[in-house]
Structure 1
Amino acid sequence: MNSVAFVTVAHHAADTELALTPVHGEALLTHTVRGLLDVPDFHPVVVVAPVRCAPAFREVLAGLPRRCRVLPGDSVRGAFAAIEAELSPEAIVLVHDALRAFTPAETFRDVLATVRSGAPVVIPVLPMADTVKVTDEARLITRTEDRTHLRTAQTPLGFSADAFRAVCAEGEPDLAAAIRAGAVTVDGHPDAMRVDSPFALTLAEAIAAAAGTEETL
């Protein structure tokens, strides 16, 4: 069984530029793709790049293994159609946010293992840490939400091949399409934050620097 990982930057208009932000000497996108390539199950890793950004994406990924490729376009659905013939019938499909560049390998492996165990859709999540208040139209607090079962969703989203085809048939496979009753959750990780703010960028630099130090020990 082979698995494909799609890296998408299509969540927000600014994500394409953010994906090229340098972190510890390399583009954020490079860190994201390298993290996926470190898990040998993924063959291929496909970066779905807006057409105008495809040349820049190819440039920053040029030094990575050939099982990484850039497909111009705005649709994960279209990218899947372009490579579907290369996949085995039991292939697992992952969709990963390009800005979650430091998702640990164990999160990828947990998602893969859970799909292999029979879950059609798998999502990594973290417990809600903040106190959640509900307000009315006058912006007055009406109650405190019980956060016992509240979770924040991360990526990668994992799908069996059949589940992914079903989601594609309904529309673009994004978080809104995938998060539904019955989806299975696995533990997320704090390092898998979206690097989309100056504060997150500072944390990303620290994570990348720490990883580089470990490799030289």
Structure 2
Amino acid sequence: MHAVGIVAAAGSGLRLGADLPKALVPLAGRPLVAWSVDALRAGGVAELVVTVPPGQRDAFAAVLPADVRLLDGGATRTASVRVGLDAASVTADVVLVHDAARPLTPPDVVRRVLAALAAGHPAAVPVLPVVDTTVVVDDAGVIRDAPPRAALRRVQTPQGFDRAILAAAYARLAPDADLTDDAAVVRAAGVPVVTVEGDERAAKVTVPHDLAVAERQVRR
């Protein structure tokens, strides 16, 4: 099975308080994107495409292996993934879409996603249980509902798809659509998405506290 990995790395570092793209923010001396690329490689993904902020290809090329393909990303995550998907090899059987901001994703998570696709599922995403009480609030911040958490899950990446199915789902999507993840793209096209076990170490780095937690994990 030929897998292509698309790493979404076009985000800014504003919420991290950085003056450079988020994916280039260092974690234990290496940029976040380098950790994420290595996780996909270690999990069994040979071909990598990274979507980067326009004008930043040289900066990314300086920290990534020469065989990683770099492309200018779009204004949104959905647009960036669309760019990467268009560039993915047509000989690929499956595509894994990963966030550069999930640098410590264990390779076993990648392998579980690939195994689900190899078993014939058209789409697979890693998830974790919701352990906190989750509530629905109105515009005034008043709690209106507390859905049972037994069936709720936190969704992570990499998210894996049959390449042709993901391409068809994106082709049906409005050009200006901005969905939260790629599972939402295929679900909008009626494609069932199976879940596999995620990992707490695959947490997303968004704010300085997240980066500090990741630093502690690396140094253990």
Matched residue count = 203
Q: Give the % identical residues.
A: 35
- Tell me the secondary structure at the aligned position of residue 204 of structure 1: helix
CA distance in 2, matches of 1:22, 1:79: 24
Instruction: Name 1:82's counterpart in structure 2.
Output: 87
Unmatched runs of 5 consecutive residues or more in structure 2 = 75-79
Q: What's the CA shift string for 1:102-142, capped at 9, x where partnerless?
A: 10001000000001111111111111111112334543333
Q: CA RMSD in A?
A: 2.3
Structure 1 residues 149 and 131: alpha-carbon distance in aligned structure 2, compared to 1, 3 A threshold: same
Q: Which residue of 2 aligns with 1:42?
A: 45
| 1:164 positional shift | 1.3
Structure-2 change in CA distance of 1:94 and 1:153 (3 Å): same
Is this contact kept in 1: 2:51–2:81, CA < 8 A? yes
Return the offset for 1:10: 4.2
Q: Could you tell me which residue of structure 2 aligns to residue 215 of structure 1? A: none
Distance 1:166 1:13, change over 3 A: farther
Mapped to 2, the partners of 1:29 and 1:175 lie a distance apart of 20
Pick one of 57, 60, 74 that aligns with 2:60.
Answer: 57
Q: Supply the AA of the counterpart residue of 1:145.
A: P
Residues 102 and 204 of structure 1 are in contact (CA less than 8 Å); yes or no, is this contact kept in structure 2? yes
Amino acid at match of 1:100: R
Structure 2 vs 1, CA of residues 174 and 54 (structure 1 numbering), >3 Å: closer, same or farther? Answer: farther
TM-score normalised by length of structure 2: 0.82
**CA-CA distance at 1:12 after TM superposition:** 6.5
**Structure 2 Cα separation of the partners of residues 177 and 47 of structure 1:** 16
Q: Which runs of 5+ in 1 are unaligned?
A: 211-217
Task: Measure, in 2, the Cα distance between the counterparts of 1:14 and 1:97.
Answer: 16
Change (3 A) 1:114 1:203: same
C-alpha displacement of 1:73: 3.4
1:7–1:47: 8 Å Cα contact kept in structure 2? Answer: yes
Tell me by how many angstroms 1:173 deviates. Answer: 8.9
